[in-house]
Structure 1
């Protein structure tokens, strides 16, 4: 009986020792063996790892030597747009009261100068092209801004490095998009693509109506000149669109007043000539014609002065509705200067490390397979 108990005890110990660990647990012995395995792999392949790292770093270093360091200048203008007398909401004071409590109809505002619409509009191609086609005085000379951009933005050395025709291209005069030739369309597309990545429009504070327009370019004077002219273009386009209907009515009333003035002058001249020619005439027909001319002259005079008054009222309304553009913070010199260095060496080392790990993995896998065979 005693021998039986001893055998049972030994069997239970053997079963406990042979029992495998759960799949979600790793024994300390397995961890140590893996560490020693990695150490042995490193001992066998450290030369390969070192060679790949040195090779990748050398390639990146050569890349850095042949690519110059880029210097950019960042300028910023803070402004506020508003002050127009017209209201974009049809609910009047009720709509303003609802907006004060955070209530709205849920529909997006169709005004392009409100909210996110303005952020997209300020960077849109038509507005940027209007800015580039402006003439400004730079270094004492009247210079087309797009030509100044071509010379000083770095686009000839980057995008047009291998295109001699584009490198030598300049615009002869300001143009609208409908007047562009084929090569001018290509040039403007490349310029706009670059400018779009260089400018940004944002709202510094969500609760504030202030907007911030900024850009970074490789030339300090180019950056400041572009910012100033771009904001001017936005302001003029903003005012023209916001007062479009009022200006049309003002032009119509002005044209009407000019037409009435011309007809009134003609009628008065006819009346004066008729009175000079018929001073001694007492015939009723002559008096009737004179009275008719006098009546027409008085009527046209009344209409003329009414048209003038309406035109003056419309002009005052136009001034009242013209939005006010207020620059809160202009461009200050010197602009923020940032040196952008290439990271070819760092990237080369990382790429060499990844490639060496891949080669070592394939090499060790092949070695393990050959051992099993």
Structure 2
């Protein structure tokens, strides 16, 4: 019987699908790497919602598939996995709507100072309504950095529901290509920053995308604009963002992801009043968690049965994959 280790808690449907197919499921006793190290040695498959370094792959000689619970795989040593013949699968569309909804929520909460208003109401500080500037998103310009599934859905939501003008910058969008949903393509990040009232980041974290919003970029932004990040914390230089927020050059920020997670004590953004913070939960609605766990489990079963899964990070590595130790598992599958 093949063994699948679940590194961090997922929706129960994932374990249920695996068990019903004849896979033994083992839950890591804790969410950290030390706990995972204790039980990964016999794993044929692993589902991770956080990091998986090379050392842990080396500690699992039977490991033949890694399922990334989510879209971004920057915390998994994918190149090392590929070198060992371990396919890495991911779930590029399971939580897209959840993340787009969360980005929209952060936009509204920041523009309307929802967190500060809540605190003022609880304290009986009714003069808040006279003292704090709030603004509507209707008719404003939303700048979307990156044009993946989430960015496209957020564009559609903002344009339809809030009548926002949407501009898009993405190096992967062809120069002669026009984004759908009525958005306008701009040629440079500078142009997007200069014209946008809200800037929402939707890029993967790589060497060329780290600190997309650095000090220089933040200085190019329209005065009083809002920054939203539901993608990866490393896309923003948090120290530079904190300076811009303190100086009032940026109206506010809504952040679900951070350069260091969990957010450390003394974080430069945690003490600022004009920031809305959430603990990397944009993709964690119950609906999204169920869909993501289901996709992870189904792709693991595909690999164990010798079938190419739907979403491989590097499809070209499939023919060089490590074969499952439980060779008779495929014969038992329908």
**Bucket of the pairwise TM-score, normalised by the shorter protein:** under 0.3
Q: Give TM-score, length-normalised by structure 2.
A: 0.21
Task: Using CA pairs under 8 Å that are at least 6 residues apart, name the structure with larger relative contact order, 1 or 2.
Answer: 1
Structure 1 or 2, whichever has the larger Rg, is: 1
Q: Give TM-score, length-normalised by structure 1.
A: 0.20
Between Structure 1 and Structure 2, the one with more helix by share is 1
